[in-house]
């Protein structure tokens, strides 16, 4: 558990659901975000395999810190994009 990115997906969706009302635009953004997180996690696992094979002494550091920070930064960027670029501000004001 943890390496399958489900916990990161839950955090992403929880924020999206908590931020504003339902819209089809939000649903599509959530689905696109989940797909991106999933694909990045597959890439992370691939790179971890490469690190384990070529530089095993860096595996713990890369797994525990570098890739964890990377995936959470991507989630923060997705939230930022939703709030400042894609979110319909007129619907919130109404």
Render pLDDT for 12-65 as a digit per residue (tens, 0 to 9): 999 999 987 888 999 999 999 999 999 999 999 999 999 999 999 999 999 999
How many Cβ atoms are within 10 Å of 10's Cβ, its own excluded?
A: 10
| pLDDT band at residue 90 under the 50/70/90 scheme | low
Residue 2, pLDDT score = 66
Residue 94, pLDDT score = 46
55 by Cβ neighbours in 10 Å (0-12 / 13-18 / 19+) ranks as exposed
Residue 93, pLDDT score = 47
Contacting residues for 15 by C-beta, under 8 A, at least 6 apart: 79
DSSP helix/strand/coil, 87: coil
């Amino acid at each position: 558990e943890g390496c399958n990115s489900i916990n990161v997906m839950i955090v992403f969706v929880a924020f999206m659901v908590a931020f504003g009302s339902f819209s089809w635009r939000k649903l599509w953004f959530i689905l696109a975000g989940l797909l991106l997180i999933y694909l990045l996690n597959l890439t992370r696992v691939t790179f971890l395999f490469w690190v384990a094979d070529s530089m095993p002494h860096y595996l713990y550091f890369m797994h525990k810190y570098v890739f964890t920070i990377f995936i959470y930064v991507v989630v923060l960027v997705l939230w930022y994009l939703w709030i400042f670029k894609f979110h319909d501000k007129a619907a919130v004001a109404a």
